[in-house]
Amino acid sequence: MLADPTCKVAFLLTGSLAASACAQTLNQLVEVEYDRLMRRTKERPLVTGAVSRHQAQAFAACTGLTGIGTLALFDPLTAFIGASTIGLYAGVYTPMKRMTPYNTHVGAVAGALPVLMGYTAAGASLLTPHPWALFALQAVWQFPHFYALAWIHREDYSRGGFKMFPLTMSGSETAALIKPYFAALAALPCATCAAGATSSMFLVEASLLTALWFRSFRRFEAKPTNATARSFFIWGLWYLLAMFASITLHSTLATDWRDRTRAKFRQWCLHVLASDADLLVKDRCPFEQLERFRERD
């Protein structure tokens, strides 16, 4: 049944969604009394009583077993990563949020682990740089993303007893905390290209996308307000989606669908056209052949 690609994707999404639902439910079970203290979480089902603790526990058990069981249809490693994500998020990250501001570092790992499941479910090896390039992108992105959110809701998080760096920082201090992660995001495409995980075109696109997100960060840095922080936060969501698309398109991991996509967009890629034209010149092709090449594209 899992031989059909559409079926594979459906099962993978179902398993991932169920595992995520389990982790989030366990998180709310642990934090229900703290959620009661914060404006942004006081309407959650466990806080209002719309869902009882027993119902939430049963839901967490069902979604957890369903999610891990579905992921196990691919292979044990995919199921193991899914189970590790649940354990790390609900069992380590959640309690750490009231113990140390370094909880974000654990949360970044938990938030990036699911991207590895797509590779293992597809039969790709984790001993290659390709899955770790995507993992690194997701992990590093989470720091500026979450620090902006924490600064916006700093009063709320403080009422809930959470410990996060931006809660005791000014806007300028939070901006200084975020800035090194932009350096890491700028260096990431160089590392993925050097490792052979992506083509050089990813370096061009990723640099442009990072510069666009950095522009919204500069507005927050120059004038730290909830409005500029929220704009920076929202731009970060679009940035992640665009970066995922770019790193997937320019991955050197061979797949039929990616090759077809590249061929479809090849005629609009100035980088590829310039490279092909250079090859024709080096081969000393006659003018007529070069004209036929241009007409073909």
Q: Is the dihedral of CA 171, 174, 180, 182 positive or negative?
A: negative
- State the first-to-last Cα distance of the chain, in angstroms, to the nearest integer: 40
Q: What is the mean pLDDT of residues 256-285?
A: 53
In this structure, what token pair is assigned to residue 141? Answer: 């992105």
Cα 137 from Cα 73, distance rounded (Å): 27
Q: Say if CB 234 and CB 246 are below 8 A apart.
A: no
Give the C-alpha separation, 31 to 54, whole Å: 15
Q: For domain 1-125, which CATH number applies: 3.90.950.10, 3.40.50.720, 3.20.20.140, 1.10.357.140? A: 1.10.357.140
Distance CA 100, CA 150 (A): 14
pLDDT digits (tens, 9 = 90+) for 178-209: 999 999 999 999 999 999 999 989 999 999 99
pLDDT in tens, 80-99: 999 999 999 999 999 999 99
Indicate the pLDDT class of residue 286, thresholds 50, 70 and 90. Answer: very low
49: left (phi over 0), alpha (psi -120 to 50) or beta: left
Residue 139 near residue 108 (C-beta atoms within 8 A):
yes
Query: Which parts of the chain fold into alpha helices (H)?
Result: 5-30, 32-35, 45-48, 53-71, 76-86, 94-96, 103-112, 114-121, 129-152, 154-159, 171-194, 200-222, 226-249, 256-265, 270-282, 287-296
Q: Which of 103-117, 125-139, 173-187, 264-278 has the lowest mean pLDDT?
A: 264-278
Q: List, for residues 157-168, the tens digit of each pLDDT value.
A: 999 999 999 999
Report the distance separating Cα 210 and Cα 183, nearest Å. Answer: 10
Is the pLDDT at 282 greater than 80, yes or no? no
Task: Give the model's pLDDT for residue 58.
Answer: 97
Fill in the amino acid letter for 199: S
pLDDT at 35 (0 to 100): 94
Residue type, 288: E
What is residue 159's predicted lDDT score, i.e. its pLDDT?
A: 92
- Residue spans of the domains in the chain: they are 1-125, 128-253, 260-297
Percent of the residues in the chain that have a pLDDT greater than 70, as a whole number: 84
Distances (CA, A) of 72 to 19, 83, 286: 12, 10, 58
Domains 1-125 and 128-253 share a fold: no
pLDDT at 278: 54
| 239-267 pLDDT tens trace | 999 999 999 889 887 655 556 555 655 55
Q: Which amino acid is at 4?
A: D
Question: Which residue would you say has higher pLDDT here, 288 or 119?
Answer: 119
Token pair 């969501």 in the structure block, residue: 237
The set of long-range contacts for 121-124, using a CB threshold of 8 Å and a minimum separation of 24, is: 121/8, 121/12, 121/71, 121/74, 121/75, 121/78, 122/8, 123/75, 124/253
User: Comparing C-alpha atoms, which of 158, 143, 19, 152 is closest to residue 98?
Assistant: 158
**Is 128-253 a CATH 3.30.2270.10 domain?**
no
